[in-house]
């Protein structure tokens, strides 16, 4: 069954601290993996996108890693800010040139406190 | 990056009425648009996929006659919730994809629908 599981469900950290969010998937065939940030009451905004051959990708204080062998990805946030408080969603695309399907994780809700 | 505009951002309607939500790609042509529904503290659930000029493909369990989708142009798709009921209250989000391949899809801001 094609699944995307994220952990933890929620996380509380102090401003300035680092954190790492996890995403495990069982999607096949794998096309790409994306991390999105979704502020409350807003649409998701893309942070990173990685294909099979990419191991790491950074976007400012956000660094995503991908291990296609173990089917795991992580999103590391460095020096967290209050504005990082949001839901972070891992999305895996399944398919090939014959057609694609995106599978959403349930998200990790991050709370950054002063 | 590409911009997808969704309107309205919030709407309150009476039970039994219909409400239309618009999704526009402002700086690119969207061959494919997606409509999602999101309940509080849950992830996005795909409702339907619409391709310009053809009928939408609905996910299992989504009522076609209740959630009417029109994708008449490459920059506009609409979702009409017909005969709305309180249980239809939710956050509806669209996304648009520039090409037919698995390229990046860009999300709208979302529409908070409240049916009273």
- Mean pLDDT score of chain A: 92
Residue B4 contacts A where some CB pair is shorter than 8 Å: yes
Supply the DSSP string of A7-69, one letter for each residue: E-SEEEEETT--EEEEEEE--SSEEEEEEEEE-TTS--EEEEEEETT--EEEETTEEEEEETT
**Rounded mean pLDDT of A23-34?**
91
| Least confident stretch, A11-20, A32-41, B25-34, B102-111 | B102-111
Determine the distance in angstroms separating the CA of B31 from the nearest CA of chain A, rounded to an integer.
14
Query: Between the CA atoms of B8, B35, B18 and B88, what dihedral angle is there, to the nearest 10 degrees?
Result: -100
Question: How high is the pLDDT of residue B82?
Answer: 97
Is the Cβ pair A44, B109 closer than 8 Å?
Answer: no
Question: How high is the pLDDT of residue B98?
Answer: 80
* pLDDT, block means (10 residues), chain B with 116 residues: 90 97 92 92 90 88 94 92 96 86 80 97
Q: What is the DSSP letter of B102?
A: S
- Mean pLDDT score of chain B: 91
Instruction: Name the band, by pLDDT with cuts 50, 70 and 90, for residue A5.
Output: very high
Residue B76 contacts A where some CB pair is shorter than 8 Å: no
Instruction: Name the band, by pLDDT with cuts 50, 70 and 90, for residue A22.
Output: very high
Neighboring chain A residues of B105 at a CB cutoff of 8 Å: 102
Neighboring chain A residues of B106 at a CB cutoff of 8 Å: 46
Residue A57's CB is within 10 A of a number of other CB atoms, namely 17
**A-B C-beta contacts closer than 8 Å:** 43
**Rounded mean pLDDT of A80-102?**
86
As a whole number of angstroms, the distance between CA A30 and CA A51 comes to 8
Q: What is the DSSP letter of A70?
A: T
């Amino acid at each position: 069954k094609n699944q995307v599981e994220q952990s933890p469900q929620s996380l509380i950290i102090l401003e300035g601290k680092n954190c790492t969010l996890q995403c495990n998937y069982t999607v096949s065939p794998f096309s790409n993996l994306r991390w999105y940030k979704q502020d409350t009451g807003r649409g998701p905004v893309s942070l990173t996108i990685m294909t099979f051959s990419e191991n790491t990708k950074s976007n400012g204080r956000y660094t995503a890693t991908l291990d296609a062998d173990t089917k795991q990805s992580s999103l590391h946030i460095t020096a967290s800010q209050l504005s990082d408080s949001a839901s972070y969603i891992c999305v895996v695309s399944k398919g090939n040139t014959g057609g694609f399907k995106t599978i959403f994780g349930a998200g990790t809700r991050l709370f950054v406190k002063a | 990056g590409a911009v997808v505009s969704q309107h309205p951002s919030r709407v309150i309607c009476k039970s039994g009425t219909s409400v239309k939500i618009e999704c526009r790609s402002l700086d690119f042509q969207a061959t494919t648009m997606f409509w999602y529904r999101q309940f509080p503290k849950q992830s996005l659930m795909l409702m339907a996929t619409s391709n310009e000029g053809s009928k939408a493909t609905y996910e299992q369990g989504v009522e076609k006659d209740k959630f009417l989708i029109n994708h008449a142009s490459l920059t506009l798709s609409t979702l009409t919730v017909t005969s709305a009921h309180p249980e239809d209250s939710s956050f509806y989000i669209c996304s648009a994809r520039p090409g037919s391949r698995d390229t990046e899809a860009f999300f709208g801001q979302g529409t908070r629908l409240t049916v009273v």
